[in-house]
Structure 1
Amino acid sequence: MTRVWDVPVHDSTRVRDVRAATEAAGAHAGLDALRTAAAVLVATELATNLLKHAGGGRLVIDLVDGPGAGAGTPAVQLVALDDGPGIRDVTEAMRDGYSTSEASRGAGLGTCQRISSAFDVCSSPRGTVSVARIEQGVSRGSARPGCRAGGVNIPLARAEHSGDAWSCVRSGSALTLMVADGLGHGRKAAQASGAAVDELHRHGHLPPAAILRRLHEALRSTRGAAVALARLDVDAGELSFAGVGNIGARLHGDDSWEHLVSHPGIVGAQFPATVPVHRVPWKPDSLLVLHSDGLPSRWAPPDDPALLAHEPAAVAAAILRDAGSADGPVRDDTCVAVLARDHSEGYP
């Protein structure tokens, strides 16, 4: 099941909560004491920055697939989100010794980048998103088939478990990305989406429609779930998409966005006789967003090319943050996952 720690950071006492949550996440991920300490240090720095520079925000801590997707080696992912004024020069802020405060030692973001397995910051006048991944052994530069995936998952009302889940698996030159939304929310919904993740890792070498049929059998004993799968074959330059239920999908290419539509139904309960598969070219600027219905149906895709060039997890977090509205309170778990070309090292 998807275990998530969603910690609001609006006063200094919450930094302690962030540290405790990160220690718990490290234990769940099987990190040793050294790597857990690294995760706690990064989380503390990110939480402190939320207070010092943004007037507060939230830190979302969860477990994600490491570069060896499918190998059962989760990593701790830390996502800091805020609506502050942004960082004027991110490159300068990442330099060791940089500080905007006389009280700061200036070790901040540069240290976070150095001790994390992967680290990214994207900032604009709308706010800042910082994403760090800490796993058992830094693995920058590991082989990958020209694409990368990442996501963020936030449970309703800061519940212990999210009924949504995302995951990815690799097979040769292909990567398959999945988002699953267990019916309802809470523990039983998390059991359904967790079963979908387990089945994906067993059958990720299959095409999307075949995986969905396997998922349908595996989820019969659960509440069922809405599931969407996207398989990118880098060598063929083609994306194959198939979904059952209300998982949203938008594909960016040639400076525009298009919807990819799932088929009505419930995986594990009401499975369609046929599952349509959409095949589209994967272009130099292609980027795919999959999301559960916790994201507002009329969310506006980002139009900032600089954002789209960031790590997928950072793009997903920015989409989730910017889609929110005080006028439209969140009523469900929310998961956003992104598939993009690999322009840099670090994320799976």
Structure 2
Amino acid sequence: MGRVWDIPVHDSTRVRDVRVAVEAASAQARLDPHRTAVAALVATELATNLVKHASGGRVLIDLVDRPGATRAPAVQVAAIDYGPGIPDITAALRDGYSTSEASLGAGLGTCMRIASDFDLYSTSRGTVAVARFDQEPATRREGNRQGPRAGGINVPLGHAEHSGDAWSCARAGSRLTLILADGLGHGAHAAHASSAAADELHRSAHLPPEEILRHMHPALRATRGAAVAVAQVDTDTGELAFAGVGNIGARLHAGDSWDHLVSHPGIVGAQFPASVPVRRRPWRPGDLLVLHSDGLPSRWIPPNDLGLLAHEPAVVAATILRDASSAANPVRDDTSVAVLASDPVDRRHDPA
């Protein structure tokens, strides 16, 4: 059960709080001193940009899974604002480019180069930037964009230390599986339930979604229980399989439309249904699935910008979260959004 840091950044005094939080997250992820310093540099640059260019925003820091052979977590830093956006993204991503006198001199281009993963999305409605750090140096992002990808964002209610929601992903053979779990209630006990669901995924990722849920039920009996949705893409068959128990929302973008995928009533760990319906859909290039807990407003409007849908899943998730709420209408529960994306046409920097 990991800590989530949700830090409002509206003046320069909070920039230090962001750096301290990233250093604490890096210690939990067991990053070495060099990678910890790199993470702190990028996080400080992103927080400084919020103050100088966007009149403030928020930074979310979390430990996230990387699908692969090990469960070594990465530190994820998401900077979210409602500012005027970046007029020239290409120039902003050039190594060493900076327009802020208060900048550390790194610039977004340097952030992109030294982070393990980095992506941003910016329009006149604001900017979302997501950086991840693990023990490895910057990866070849274009080469790693093959096949389905997963990512997400997690926000605790009222800036609490723990969120009762959790998302996780795991790869087993040709299958990439994404789950989103919402533990009953709030706080550490709810987080214990959702974390137990994430742990069980990594023991049963080789199974189909309905069997993963059945394995989670006894694993969560000692907890409060949780609503859980499981989405699995099999690249050999080109199929998406979805199954859920409880009130996790799911919307699939395929072709030019968004469709709802409905979970079955129940609670994993407490009131498990006799049968779990499985929804199956073809999985094609450009398809994208959004899972979300009930902290997201029920009538949220899916994005219609194809340029956004081509970004990294965590950026898509953070943008959906930002645009579904506001300072005047904040989320009223722990809120998590997770995205499963296929290989898109690269429209990431098309004008919105």
Give the Cα separation in 2 of the matches to 1:104 and 1:183.
42
Give the Cα separation in 2 of the matches to 1:12 and 1:28.
26
* 1:82 corresponding residue in structure 2: 81
The reply to whether residue 255 of structure 1 matches residue 220 of structure 2 is no
What does the per-residue CA deviation read over 1:18-77, in whole Å, with 9 as the maximum and x for residues that have no partner? 011000000000101000000000000000000010000000000001352x61200100
Runs of 4+ that moved beyond 3 A: 101-106, 141-145, 325-329, 342-345
* 2:286 corresponding residue in structure 1: 285
SS in 1 for 2:4: strand
* 2:349 corresponding residue in structure 1: none
The CA deviation at 1:234 is: 1.5
Query: What amino acid sits opposite 2:278 in the alignment?
Result: V
- On the 8 A contact 2:81/2:126 being kept in 1, the answer is yes
The CA deviation at 1:330 is: 2.1
Give the Cα separation in 2 of the matches to 1:136 and 1:333.
29
SS in 1 for 2:119: strand
Give the Cα separation in 2 of the matches to 1:174 and 1:194.
21
* 2:228 corresponding residue in structure 1: 227
- On the 8 A contact 1:145/1:172 being kept in 2, the answer is no
For structure 1, list consecutive stretches of 5 or more residues without a partner in the other structure. none
* 2:123 corresponding residue in structure 1: 124
- On the 8 A contact 1:2/1:163 being kept in 2, the answer is no
Query: What amino acid sits opposite 1:231 in the alignment?
Result: Q
Give the Cα separation in 2 of the matches to 1:14 and 1:2.
22
* 2:206 corresponding residue in structure 1: 205
**Which is worse superposed, 182-191 or 277-286?**
277-286
What does the per-residue CA deviation read over 1:291-313, in whole Å, with 9 as the maximum and x for residues that have no partner? 00010000000000110110000
Change (3 A) 1:85 1:37: same
The reply to whether residue 240 of structure 1 matches residue 234 of structure 2 is no
The CA deviation at 1:173 is: 1.6
Taking structure 1 as the reference length, the TM-score comes to 0.95
Give the Cα separation in 2 of the matches to 1:50 and 1:197.
32
Change (3 A) 1:17 1:102: closer
1:1-348 → structure 2 map (5 Å cutoff)? 1-68=1-68, 71-101=70-100, 104=103, 106-138=105-137, 140-141=139-140, 146-342=147-343
SS in 1 for 2:45: helix
Give the Cα separation in 1 of the matches to 2:53 and 2:3.
29
In the comparison of the two structures, how many residue pairs are matched? 344
- On the 8 A contact 2:213/2:268 being kept in 1, the answer is yes
Give the Cα separation in 1 of the matches to 2:119 and 2:172.
26
SS in 1 for 2:236: coil
Taking structure 2 as the reference length, the TM-score comes to 0.94
Give the Cα separation in 1 of the matches to 2:191 and 2:200.
14
Give the Cα separation in 1 of the matches to 2:102 and 2:224.
53
**Which is worse superposed, 78-87 or 228-237?**
228-237
- On the 8 A contact 2:49/2:103 being kept in 1, the answer is no
- On the 8 A contact 2:179/2:228 being kept in 1, the answer is yes
- Residue identity over aligned pairs, in percent, reads 71
Give the Cα separation in 1 of the matches to 2:102 and 2:52.
11
What does the per-residue CA deviation read over 1:104-159, in whole Å, with 9 as the maximum and x for residues that have no partner? 56531011111100000100011000000000112624768611000000100011
RMSD of the alignment, in Å? 1.7
- On the 8 A contact 1:90/1:121 being kept in 2, the answer is no
- On the 8 A contact 2:117/2:133 being kept in 1, the answer is yes
What does the per-residue CA deviation read over 1:199-242, in whole Å, with 9 as the maximum and x for residues that have no partner? 00011110000000000110011000000000001121110000
- On the 8 A contact 1:312/1:340 being kept in 2, the answer is yes
Query: What amino acid sits opposite 2:75 in the alignment?
Result: V
Query: What amino acid sits opposite 1:129 in the alignment?
Result: V
What does the per-residue CA deviation read over 1:263-285, in whole Å, with 9 as the maximum and x for residues that have no partner? 00000001100000000011222
SS in 2 for 1:27: helix
Query: What amino acid sits opposite 1:80 in the alignment?
Result: A
SS in 2 for 1:55: coil
Give the Cα separation in 2 of the matches to 1:102 and 1:78.
23
The CA deviation at 1:331 is: 1.8
For structure 2, list consecutive stretches of 5 or more residues without a partner in the other structure. 347-352
